[in-house]
């Protein structure tokens, strides 16, 4: 079972940093960004996390929660989060349950070897639990700005739909 744009995201429950349990049902009413990344403390993953950190207040202003997701342990996540002052929680998915829901485990190649790993991907879920946007095979440059803009547009589209629903034909 994997997610489809424009459809509800299946509920999930996962362990995250700061001794928190994250479930989609518990997040209803808020927009959610899930950014999947391969591994804590690697250059690309660190850069991506820092970009989300640096734009965190803009996401807060847009009433959007951010969660990073990888297969790393909670202990690794806690260290990664503390080292880079991430203001958002990191979800540990060692059994790839969330990874499977979002279909981010892909065949990868590095140094001539093939292996299965997380493809850098980001997902925007609206306040009703509907998948509104997905970014796959993410390139980090300008990515967070694109995600923020999409998050803000979800607000605009919802307001326009509400205001248009009162129009008479």
Tell me which fold the domain 13-164 belongs to.
Glutaredoxin (3.40.30)
Catalytic residue numbers read 45
pTM: 0.88
Q: How far is CA 121 from the centre of its chain?
A: 8
How far apart are alpha carbons 169 and 163 in whole angstroms?
14
Q: What is the mean pLDDT of the chain?
A: 89
Residue 58 confidence (pLDDT): 95
Burial of 105 (0-12, 13-18, 19+ CB in 10 A): middle
State mean pLDDT over 118-137: 94
pLDDT for res 165: 44
- Grouping H, G, I as helix, E, B as strand and the rest as coil, residue 146 is helix
Query: In angstroms, what CA-CA distances link 142 with 46, 135, 147?
Result: 15, 12, 9
> CA neighbours within 13 Å on the CB side: how many for 2?
10
- Higher-confidence residue: 80 or 28? 80
Pairing of strands 64-70, 31-36: parallel
The pLDDT of residue 152: 93
Mean pLDDT for the stretch of residues 61-69: 96
- pLDDT bin (cut points 50, 70, 90) of residue 156 is low
CA atoms of 143 and 35, how far apart (whole Å): 11
Nearest to 116 by CA among 124, 104, 129, 127: 104
Pull the structure tokens for residue 65.
């929660």
Q: Where are the domains of the chain?
A: 13-164
Q: State how far the alpha carbon of 133 is from the alpha carbons of 55, 115, 123, in Å.
A: 18, 27, 6
């Amino acid at each position: 079972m994997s997610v489809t744009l424009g459809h509800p995201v299946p509920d999930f429950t996962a362990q995250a940093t700061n001794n928190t349990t994250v479930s989609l049902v518990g997040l209803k009413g808020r927009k959610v960004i899930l950014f999947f990344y391969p591994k804590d403390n690697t250059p690309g993953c660190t850069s991506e996390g820092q970009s989300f950190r640096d734009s965190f207040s803009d996401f807060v202003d847009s009433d959007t929660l951010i969660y990073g997701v990888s297969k790393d342990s909670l202990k690794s996540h806690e260290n990664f989060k503390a080292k880079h002052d991430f203001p958002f929680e990191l979800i540990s998915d060692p059994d790839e349950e969330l990874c499977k829901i979002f279909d981010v485990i892909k065949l990868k190649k590095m140094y001539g070897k093939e292996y299965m790993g997380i493809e850098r991907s980001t997902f925007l879920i609206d306040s009703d639990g509907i998948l509104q946007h997905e970014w796959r095979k993410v390139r980090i440059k300008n990515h967070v700005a694109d995600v923020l803009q999409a998050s803000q547009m979800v607000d605009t589209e919802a307001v326009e739909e509400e205001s248009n629903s009162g129009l008479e034909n």
